[in-house]
Every structure is written in C-alpha cells, then in structure tokens.
Chain A
Amino acid sequence: MVSPRVVLASDEEGGFDALHHSANAYYLDFAPFGKMELPRIFVVQREDGSYGLELFRSTTSAIRTGHFTVELVKDTHEEAAEDLLGESIGQGESAPVHQEQVVHAEAEGDGHAADSGKLTLAELEGHLLAPNGGHIVLDLSISRHLFFAWIAMGIVLFLMTRLAGMYKRGIGRSTAPRGLFQNLFETIILFVRDEIARPNLGDKANKYLPYLLTAFFFILTSNLLGLVPFGATATSNLMVTVVLATFTFILTQLGGTKDYWMHIFWPPGIPTFVKPILMPVELLGIFTKPIALAIRLFANMTAGHLVILSLIGLIFSFASLFGSGAGFGVAPVSVAFALFVYMLELLVSLIQAYVFTMLSALFISMAIQEHHHDHDEAHHGDEHVSAHTEAISA
C-alpha cells in the first residue's frame, strides 16, 4: 500500500506520476527525446506600483536571465509519502531500500541541475516569482493545454473552411458529395443536425446549428489529440471545459423566452407558498446545468488518461515491490489492459463530444420553447413526436 506512492515520489525524470502527467505544464513533453519549453508571458506589478509586460522565450530563459526566481513547491503527496516512509521504517524489510531510492533520485536531480544549464523538472513545474518585491498580476503564459487547444482550433478551422468551400462551389449540393473527405464529414454533420439539433430545437435548429457543430468538432478534435503520441488533451483542463460550458450558458440565457424566466421566478401551476421555496432552487439550476456540463467532460477526459497511466505504473510498482522479474511478468497484462482502455477512450471521445452537444441543444431548447399551458400541451407534444418520427423514417 505504501510502495506505489514511494515509486511516484522517487521517480524524478521517468514520470509515472499519473496526475502529474495529465496535468497542465509549460512545456511540451516529447518523452524520450526531450522537452520543448513554451513562451512565458507575465503582466507584472513592480515595486513602485507600475505595471509592465514581461516576455520570455521559455521558462529557462525567464530564470537564467536572473529576472525571475523559482519557488520550489513540495508536492503534498511527496510529503505524505515521506511521512509514511518514516513510519514504516523498521516495520518492513523493504522500506530502507525505498528510502535509498528516494535519496538517490534527489541527489541525481541536484547534480543534473548543477552541471548543465537545463532546469530540473521541479524547477520547470515550480511557481515563478517576480523580481525585486514585485508580483505577477496575470500569468498569460502559453501552457501545454492552451497549445493543444490552438492546434485543435487550427485543425477544425482548416477542415471546415475547406469543406465549406466545396459546398460553395456546388459540390455536394447539385452533385453527390465527392471523395472520402467530404463523405466522411457530411455524415457527421448530418448526424449532428438530424439527431441532435432538429429533434431538440425544432424550427430554430438552423440558428444554433453553427455553435453546436463548432462545439462538437472542437471537443472531438481535442479529445482525439490526447490519444496521439506526445499529444495532450485540452479538454482534460477544467478551464477549457468551463469556457465551452459558458458559451452554452450564455446562449441559453440569451435565447430564454418570457416563459423560461417565468418558470424560474414564478413557476405556474403550484401553490403560492411553495413558489418562494422553488425560486432559489430554479435559480441555482441555471448554474448547475453548465457546471455539470463542464465537469462531466473534464472528468471523463481526465479519468481515461489516469487509468491508462496507472495501469502502466503498475508495472513499475510491481518491479520495485517484488523485483524486476515481477515487473516483466506484469507488463503484458498491464499493456493489454492499457490498450483496452485506450480503445475505450476512443469511444468515450466520441460519446462525450456527442453528450456535450446533445445536452447543450437540450438546455437551449428548454429555454427557447414557447410553453402552451392547459390542455394545449398534450396535443402539441403529440405533434412534436410524430414530426420527429417522420424525420427519422424519412
């Protein structure tokens, strides 16, 4: 129970700390070949109160030019591991061996920093402090997840402008869609339109379709980029998903009809004394829906990566517990399971893009619907369903 943590703590360069690997950082990790640091941009408030913009090509240059100092943060779980280690010494025979490993790794890390100009991992991950008593107001540094979000945006922009150009020239409108590229994407776009937008939004589908398609393709591309070697999942960052959910939130509120607001502040058809109780609940409901949307996407995309990395980490846990033979023995099983989870993640990437778009459409439709009270409602519902089944069978 103790040793997996110790392995995580002792591991300086190899990186089997699952949380650490799927977390955000200011460099691109091309694991066996090295790292590429990303630019750091800071808005700094100086000692005299004036504001300034500081630009650096990399974290290394920010520290090596002597401008910024790095504050080494000690990981909480590293500390916890050391605590556990201290307690377990003398209890188990293997404990001293682990301790040696930790010390060794730390010594190696220090030596690495001293003899070359490169930063250690701890320095790369540490918090930067502004010089001479100033402090960082805004950290606009380009991080790994931002970088991959930009790549995803670039890919979507490139593909969709090319596709739109084809339809503009009449290919696919007056003729059948031509080629693998157009056929593939027309299928997906029609799926979003006919299965997500139209059943939920009805006649207003076309108004919201551009947003739904953009969200769908951006999320799908981001999710899939995380499964590419050296890639990172932008959607496994809570900030990215919160921004996406905010767009849905704004569209929902802007599209809200009089009925929508009335249902929140003065829900009809219930006794008056219940209304003040329901109002805060409904008001809270406005915010919990997009928050759940953001957390769902974030958690799903993070969880898959954590499971894969934990399965790979099992090999090293077993190797350090029972010797390298056990590591080799566990490896095939671990890799097979990791492959299975990887395939599952491919599926989850698609499903989550679908679910996000689907729920966005649903939340928007709940706000833009014109409600008909009294007996009209049942009739209206029937009409809607029959229209829907017609659309599907057509």
Chain B
Amino acid sequence: MDPSALAYLGAGLGAGLVALGAGLGIGLLAGPAMEGSARQPEAAGDIRTSMIIAAALIEGVALFGLVICIILAIK
C-alpha cells in the first residue's frame, strides 16, 4: 500500500477520535451543568461561566489533535 494512503487513513481516524473524545468530554460536562442550573436557576450564570471555561479547555486539547490530523492530511 502507498504510505501516503496510511497517512490519510490516520488523519481520518484521528479526526474521528478527536471528535469522539471532545464530544464525550463536553457531554459529561454539559449534562450535570444543565441539571445544576435547572435545580438552582439563580446559580445558572456562574455555572454557565465555569462550564464554558472547562469546555474551552477540553476543546483546546481536541484542537491540538485536530491540527495534527490536518497536517497529516495536507502533507
């Protein structure tokens, strides 16, 4: 097999795994946050802020993975 085919395969699989990980992370985060703000609507603002910060950090890691996938794919 052509080695570049493996690189494309790796990039595609990597992008999928990145999406899986980020989705799982943000899902685990958002569920309890929703529950929390439904239970205590007066704390909704605080919960939203800290949720977005944590989500952004998770997303940051995912984006690093994604960038590697893009580099693999366009090389």
Contact = CB atoms under 8 A, between A and B. Distances in A.
Interface string B26-53: 0000000000000000100110010011
Contacts of A393: 42
A379 B45 CA distance: 22
B59 A296 contact: yes
Given A292-B60, A299-B66, A199 B49 contact: yes
A195 B67 contact: no
B46 A76 contact: no
A295 interface: yes
A260 to B, nearest CB: 18
B56 A296 contact: yes
Interface residues of B, number: 17
A355 B63 contact: no
B53 A362 contact: yes
A254 B10 CA distance: 41
Given A296-B63, A354-B52, 13 more contacts: A19-B74, A83-B2, A195-B49, A199-B49, A292-B64, A295-B60, A295-B67, A296-B59, A299-B66, A358-B52, A358-B56, A388-B46, A393-B42
A80 interface: yes
Interface string B54-73: 00100110011011000000
Q: Is the interface of B mostly helix, strand, loop or mixed?
A: helix
Contacts of A295: 60, 63-64, 67
A289 to B, nearest CB: 9
Nearest to A87: B2
A358 B57 CA distance: 12
26 contacts: A19-B74, A76-B74, A76-B75, A77-B74, A80-B4, A83-B2, A195-B45, A195-B49, A292-B60, A292-B64, A296-B56, A296-B60, A296-B63, A299-B63, A299-B66, A299-B67, A354-B52, A355-B52, A359-B56, A362-B53, A385-B46, A388-B46, A389-B42, A389-B46, A392-B45, A393-B42
Contacts of A358: 49, 52-53, 56
Contacts of A76: 74-75
Contact of B53 (A83, A195, A359, A392): A359
Nearest to B44: A392
Interface string A181-211: 0000000000000010001000000000000
Nearest to B59: A296
- 9 closest pairs, A vs B, by CB? A292-B60, A295-B63, A299-B63, A392-B45, A355-B56, A296-B63, A359-B56, A296-B60, A295-B67
